[in-house]
Amino acid sequence: MMEQKKLVPRRRFREFQDTHDWEQRELEEITLKIGSGKTPKGGDSSYVSEGVPLLRSQNVYGDIVDLKDVAYITPQTDEEMKNSRVVMNDVLLNITGASIGRSAVYRLSSGANVNQHVCIIRPAKGYSSDFVQLNLATSKGQQQINNNQAGGAREGLNFQQISKMRFEFPSLEEQDQIGLFFRDLDNLITLHQRKLDKTKALKSAYLSEMFPAEGESEPKRRFAGFTDAWGQREYGEVIDLLSGQDFSPSEYNDTCNGIPYMTGASCIVGKETIVNRWTTVPRCLAEKGDVLLVCKGSGYGAIAVLAQDKAHIARQFMALKNLPNLDKIFNLYLLNSVIENIKKDARGLIAGIARDAVIKQEISIPSLEEQSQIGVFFKKIDHLITLHQRKLEKLQNIKKAYLNEMFI
């Protein structure tokens, strides 16, 4: 007789390791309510500036309820939609569209309502809202959602499908401890996300203040000791602009043979370049530290610095090689400060940036010494952004791993 497989996760808190197995339940067995709302009569025109929050799919984001772009309905409309009122600790699940499968726990004591794109899952006594939501976020939960969406139409989840989703549950005490663990982890992720967002906003503010605004010849903010006027130039006077060329399939490989071949925006991760293809017959060579601009196709306007010693660039790229009167690091942030203006001239069936749009772009530059200080300053901010990004990604990966190990 075969031994019955134990329903326990791979990783468990020590105090629960010798306790009962987990028990499988369908959501309809452990909930008081599974349902969604509707679009208020009048649609968007029924929204008001303040009132009862109407939660839509964009408000269920990143395992939290985000109220930044929330709509409001009148108390009268809320009364007409009383069957879809949200209460504290309801689990919200997006059931249509591109964000299908995103979920969050509603933690506010104040009431809200939902439209037809968001499902309310209200756990019964003895079942943790956090634990239910975490199950939905696991690979098993997402797989069940995807399986119910098989086929071309992908219209959305219905309540019958949701009610039949199956998960394993331990005691309420263990559910609560797991929920608390992940809530602490989510708080840490949120903290680092805010640090990252704040540092990016700081960089954006400094870019607007340390480079001249359109129509101005000098910036608002300068380092102490620099008073000389910035010189007015066209970009083409301080760079050698290299346009790329595409290769035929016989001229490149994916076996690391030759030098890197940069094909487009897919070669940029963050602000750094990565290599997927190589060539032994390079013609348009960019060198380490050159500023690369994606000028055609998807992601045009993206900017990166070549991290490799040398690379052939495809026609989706331009390389802005600095001349002696332009600091290489400063060049990166100079381009960042004017890229939106350059993109205004994008044209063609597939939007792209022409050489003249770059070469003829009017710029202001200071002395090489001041350029160097500005470049080093922004490079330090970028380093800080990278550190925050890596820490955030590490925490997100830790959460993903724990979701796979602490649930069945």
What strand order describes the sheet that includes 259-262? Answer: 278-279, 259-262, 310-313, 285-287
pTM score, whole prediction: 0.82
Asked if residues 94 and 57 have their Cβ atoms less than 8 Å apart, the reply is: yes
Under DSSP, the state recorded for 306 is -
Q: How many degrees, rounded to 5, is the angle at CA 196 between CA 192 and CA 198?
A: 115
Instruction: Give pLDDT tens digits along the chain (408 positions).
Output: 445 567 889 999 999 988 889 999 999 999 999 999 888 888 888 899 999 999 999 999 878 899 989 999 999 999 999 999 999 999 999 999 889 999 999 999 999 999 999 999 999 999 999 999 999 999 999 999 999 875 555 678 999 999 999 999 999 999 999 999 999 999 999 999 999 999 999 999 999 999 998 888 889 999 999 999 999 999 999 999 999 999 999 999 999 999 999 999 999 987 889 999 999 999 999 999 999 999 998 889 999 999 999 999 999 999 999 999 999 999 999 999 999 999 987 776 677 999 999 999 999 999 999 999 999 999 999 999 999 999 999 999 999 999 999 999
Q: Is the dihedral of CA 257, 260, 261, 264 positive or negative?
A: positive
Structural domains of the chain sorted by starting position, each given as residue range(s) with its CATH number in brackets: 23-169 (3.90.220.20), 172-223+366-408 (1.10.287.1120), 231-364 (3.90.220.20)
Report how far residue 394's alpha carbon sits from residue 248's, in angstroms, rounded to the nearest whole number.
39
Nearest 10 degrees: CA dihedral of 161, 163, 165, 167? 170
Token duo for residue 367: 């002395």
CA neighbours closer than 13 Å in the CB half-sphere of residue 230: 23
Asked if residues 111 and 86 have their Cβ atoms less than 8 Å apart, the reply is: yes
Report how far residue 58's alpha carbon sits from residue 80's, in angstroms, rounded to the nearest whole number.
23
Dihedrals φ, ψ of 249, to 5°? -55, -30
Dihedrals φ, ψ of 198, to 5°? -65, -40
